A = this chain, B = another copy of it.
Amino acid sequence: MADSSDKEAAVSNKQVIFKDYITGFPSESDMATITAGNLKLKVPAGSKDIVVKNLYLSCDPYMRLLMETSSGIFSPYTPGSPITGFGVGKVMDSGNPEFKAGDLVWGITGWEQYSVLKPNNLLLFKIQHTDVPLSYYTGILGMPGVTAYAGFYEVCSPKKGEYVFVSAASGAVGQLVGQFAKLVGCYVVGSAGTREKVELLKNKLGFDDAFNYKEEPDLNAALKRCFPQGIDIYFENVGGKMLDAVLLNMRIHGRIAVCGFVSQYNLAEPEGVHNLMSIVYKRVRVQGFSASDYYPQYSKFLDFMLPCIREGKIKYVEDIVEGLEKGPAALIGLFSGRNVGKQIVAVAPE
């Protein structure tokens, strides 16, 4: 007996396994890289599964929330199974009529060389445009891009001349928000956690100003220095003390778009935020949002973003590590700010 094609041959499959639920900061040892065997790259007859070869995997802060059971409305990771996240891959075989072998795709996949994507909870987009780097579909053209676009243009309702503050400003989302703000004609300041990132914001990404929050003994004073007239729009990625300081500096009818509170994800108890009175005094709108609500408008987003990339109007800084086994360190590096720009794990060449 012999398999009739390579696809039917069983392959080994390197995987990053989630070991068990955690509290506090994640560490590399919370994950294990193993090699499983006997994965068939062909979908059984009648199945709607899709087999994908993973090319790029995305490191995103929300993944920390899936490492505990009390993470809110998300389904947490399953101990003993590969962690999951956004990625870019190539379809090897498909029982789903919307995808066929050879298609390039982005969406939720596993941290492994090959993933079998099941029809329930499938979140997968076909990649139609390959004149831009494929890795962009984990970032500027993927979930972080939609987050920045929807959060800034839809949630913040920016107007020319407004004052915009972005935290985690050199990250996957923040670097885009700052550039969008400049396209609209806003004044934009970013905060980041190293001098290198601050220089990146000011010299490469076009921010009007930036500061290293780790070198500021008083965040309120730093914001007052950068925004003597106050803040119209705060694109919130971090929460905690930064949010408390920003609240003191909001202008009347200011808007705060909240896509995450990364400073809080590793705390057993979230910090208390004390200055919410500003929401009343300044009639501020605080809006939580998720890229997932905007995926139905993904093609409109691409119509905007692709020309920006092709014409060089928007830059995108990526931090790519090579090899699945480097994934755990890259992922936990997000929470110490080790990455410069969008953190990606390159798993395989196309």
- Across the interface, which residues of B come within 8 angstroms of A269, CB to CB? 274
Which of A99-107, A115-123, A182-190, A258-266 has 4 or more CB atoms under 8 Å from chain B?
A258-266
Which of A282-290, A299-307, A328-336, A341-349 has 4 or more CB atoms under 8 Å from chain B?
A282-290
Selected from B264, B273, B286, the residue in CB contact (under 8 A) with A272 is B273
- Across the interface, which residues of B come within 8 angstroms of A243, CB to CB? 276
Pairwise interchain contact A277-B264, C-beta atoms closer than 8 A: yes
A278 within 8 A of B: yes
Min Cβ gap A262→B in Å is 10
How many identical chains are in the complex?
Answer: 2
A239 within 8 A of B: yes
- Across the interface, which residues of B come within 8 angstroms of A271, CB to CB? 272, 274
| New A-B contacts (6) at CB < 8 Å, excluding given A72-B277, A271-B274 | A258-B279, A259-B280, A261-B277, A261-B280, A269-B274, A273-B274
A2 within 8 A of B: no
CA distance A259 to B279 in the complex (A): 9
CA distance A280 to B258 in the complex (A): 6
Within 8 A of B (CB), among A13-54: none
- Across the interface, which residues of B come within 8 angstroms of A284, CB to CB? 287-288
Pairwise interchain contact B278-A72, C-beta atoms closer than 8 A: yes
Min Cβ gap A148→B in Å is 15
Pairwise interchain contact A276-B289, C-beta atoms closer than 8 A: no
Min Cβ gap A229→B in Å is 14
A→B interface (CB under 8 Å):
72-74, 239, 243, 252, 258-261, 264, 269-290, 293
Main secondary structure of the interface of A (DSSP, over half): loop
CA distance A74 to B283 in the complex (A): 13
- Across the interface, which residues of B come within 8 angstroms of A72, CB to CB? 277-278, 281
- Across the interface, which residues of B come within 8 angstroms of A286, CB to CB? 279, 285-287
- Across the interface, which residues of B come within 8 angstroms of A273, CB to CB? 272-274, 276
Give the residue name and chain of the B residue nearest to A155 (CB): B285
CA distance A271 to B258 in the complex (A): 21
What are 29 A-B pairs at a CB distance below 8 A? A73-B281, A74-B281, A239-B276, A243-B276, A258-B276, A260-B280, A261-B277, A261-B280, A264-B277, A269-B274, A270-B274, A270-B276, A271-B272, A271-B274, A272-B272, A272-B273, A278-B288, A279-B286, A280-B288, A280-B290, A283-B287, A283-B288, A283-B290, A283-B293, A284-B288, A285-B285, A285-B286, A285-B288, A286-B287
Give the residue name and chain of the B residue nearest to A273 (CB): B273
- Across the interface, which residues of B come within 8 angstroms of A293, CB to CB? 283
CA distance A261 to B72 in the complex (A): 26
Lowest 6 CB-CB distances: which A-B pairs, in order? A272-B272, A279-B288, A72-B281, A286-B286, A280-B288, A283-B288
- Across the interface, which residues of B come within 8 angstroms of A275, CB to CB? 270
Pairwise interchain contact B276-A261, C-beta atoms closer than 8 A: yes
Give the residue name and chain of the B residue nearest to A265 (CB): B277
Pairwise interchain contact A287-B285, C-beta atoms closer than 8 A: yes
Min Cβ gap A255→B in Å is 10
- Across the interface, which residues of B come within 8 angstroms of A274, CB to CB? 269-273
CA distance A261 to B264 in the complex (A): 24
- Across the interface, which residues of B come within 8 angstroms of A282, CB to CB? 73, 288
